Amino acid sequence: MGDATAGSRILVASNRGPVSFSRADDGQLTVARGGGGVVSGLSSVASHEDLLWVCAALSDADRAAARRAPGGMLPLADQEGGSAVRMLDVPAATFNRAYNTVANSVLWFVHHMLYDTPNRPQFASAFRRDWAAYRDYNRAFAEALAEAARVQAATPDQARTPEQAPTPDRAPTPDRAASRALVQDYHLTLVPRMLADLAPATRIAHFSHTPWAPVDYYRLLPEAVAMEVLDGILGADHAGFLCQRWADAFADCCEQVLGAIVDRDRHLVTHRGHVTSIGVHPLGVDAKELTSRGAQPDVEVRMASLAEAVGDRRLIVRVDRTELSKNIVRGLAAYRELLQSHPQWRGKVMLLALAYPSRHDLPEYREYAASVQRLAREIEDEFGSPDWSPILLSTHDDYPRSLAGYRLADVLLVNPIRDGMNLVAKEGPILSDRGCVLVLSREAGAAAELGDHALMVNPFDISETAAALHQALLMTDSERSRRCRSLAEAAGAVPPTAWFASQLAALDALDSHQDRD
């Protein structure tokens, strides 16, 4: 990584961390890599950098590991850069209200526009209690980051490498060493403001991995909450988004909900005397690493058994967490309509739907997973025959099998209702052996980079999606390869390390003497 990251340890905060613990049968704690988009993006950065990664303990096993760790610090053993993790042991009830109720059932629903508005949301007194928990949980992160920033400021200069020594324009005041904190996602929107108050010299960036809601939809939130979220993020020096559309929606909300001054030409928002720069940092895939992972024996084994099941038929693939915004049900409905309206594909095509479990603590997610399974069974009943299964649905998380699916796909279907980016749309074309056609929702952040080479669909339009699947299946080999090459090139353009470095560079480019009120 370049100069932007030279210097002190970088502080990262995200709800889900790079590791998760579980209890083996003998009671021992065992460790595995954490899941999710933030973790995949940041893990490769952690292997090159000196990061302190602050995250929440998500389970009882995590809590036990966090309590046992000396000073609460767990080394990231497989990383080269000396990175460490601090898991915060937030009380379980507070965590549950902050994560399940506020972050996943309110902020996620707002940004992905998932509410059935005749009935929900309903913000009553219970929500105020949950909001207080969200604040407490954010405060725990802010305090841990402020403490880390103070430790760093107190580190004697002689213990630093020459690059780490303070430069003349970074005067060595007590808590002033070049601490940079990168705060991730909708779980932690209040952290930047809290951290700025606790450790004013820290350079702070916030990054949203989700879409940002249009202002009229954002206003479903109680006004004080809507303002507190925006004010929280604007405590940062830099606010990052995955595409221009989400950045613009955020700026609209700052202007119209908060009354902040938005300079659209210079991408700056001024609020309470502090200026926050707004940046677009698309996240892509490390093509080299993914290609090498995709060639491992565990992937080859799964390819062989998939290829046997598919035979000489065409293969449509989708890979998702079973998550309301992923639009799996409409995707299956589109496949059903393809088989109804184009009977020539019956017996000639299969859909591999890998729908991995997600957020099962929420009843809506459990119900959604059940609807996916119901519709898959209906399709099987309607069209299946003794020698043809139209659909292979699996809900068992198996990463090498996803990679095998990418390699064998003729068509990749990615049709979210809304999505911050969607890395499946980027991973698939990079690994495709056959030159897959991407059918992509116009509502995915990835559409900004991949749209020219994909078949774009309105995710609510089942007939249009079915027609796109038909068109994809009919496409000539040369057209498919041409499009797939362009998709792969765009998908690998900004690997996670470059994405991360661009945020640090944006932070480092800022005037260090901005006033905070």
The contact set with ligand F6P (CB under 6 A) reads 15-16, 36-38, 104, 185, 209-210, 358-359, 420
Q: Of 6 and 61, which has the nearer Cβ to ligand F6P?
A: 61
Give SS3 for 52.
strand
Closest distance between ligand F6P and the C-beta of residue 444, in Å? Answer: 11
Q: Of 152 and 422, which has the nearer Cβ to ligand F6P?
A: 422
Q: Of 37 and 235, which has the nearer Cβ to ligand F6P?
A: 37
Q: Of 5 and 422, which has the nearer Cβ to ligand F6P?
A: 422
**Strand blocks (E) in 84-211:** 84-88, 180-184, 203-207
Closest distance between ligand F6P and the C-beta of residue 335, in Å? Answer: 24
Give residues with Cβ within 8 angstroms of 507, minimum separation 6: 180, 203, 204, 205, 237, 238
Q: Of 40 and 83, which has the nearer Cβ to ligand F6P?
A: 40
Q: Of 236 and 349, which has the nearer Cβ to ligand F6P?
A: 236
Is residue 104 a contact partner of residue 151, using CB atoms and an 8 Å limit?
no
Q: Of 358 and 415, which has the nearer Cβ to ligand F6P?
A: 358
Burial of 31 by CB count in 10 Å (0-12 exposed, 13-18 middle, 19+ buried)? Answer: middle
Is residue 149 a contact partner of residue 199, using CB atoms and an 8 Å limit?
yes
Closest distance between ligand F6P and the C-beta of residue 208, in Å? Answer: 8
Closest distance between ligand F6P and the C-beta of residue 436, in Å? Answer: 22
Residue pointed to by tokens 């459990």: 366
Closest distance between ligand F6P and the C-beta of residue 365, in Å? Answer: 10
Closest distance between ligand F6P and the C-beta of residue 90, in Å? Answer: 15
Strands 203-207 vs 180-184: parallel, antiparallel or unpaired:
parallel
Helices (H) and strands (E) in the chain, counts: 19, 18
Closest distance between ligand F6P and the C-beta of residue 334, in Å? Answer: 22
* CA 99/CA 163 separation, integer angstroms: 38
Closest distance between ligand F6P and the C-beta of residue 60, in Å? Answer: 17
Q: Of 359 and 401, which has the nearer Cβ to ligand F6P?
A: 359
Q: Tell me which residue has its CB nearest to ligand F6P.
A: 36
* CA 124/CA 214 separation, integer angstroms: 23
Give SS3 for 444.
strand
Contacts 24+ apart (CB under 8 A), 439-443: 439/411, 439/412, 439/413, 439/414, 439/415, 439/465, 439/468, 439/469, 439/472, 440/414, 440/415, 441/327, 441/414, 441/415, 441/416, 441/417, 443/211, 443/416, 443/417, 443/418, 443/419
* CA 178/CA 7 separation, integer angstroms: 7
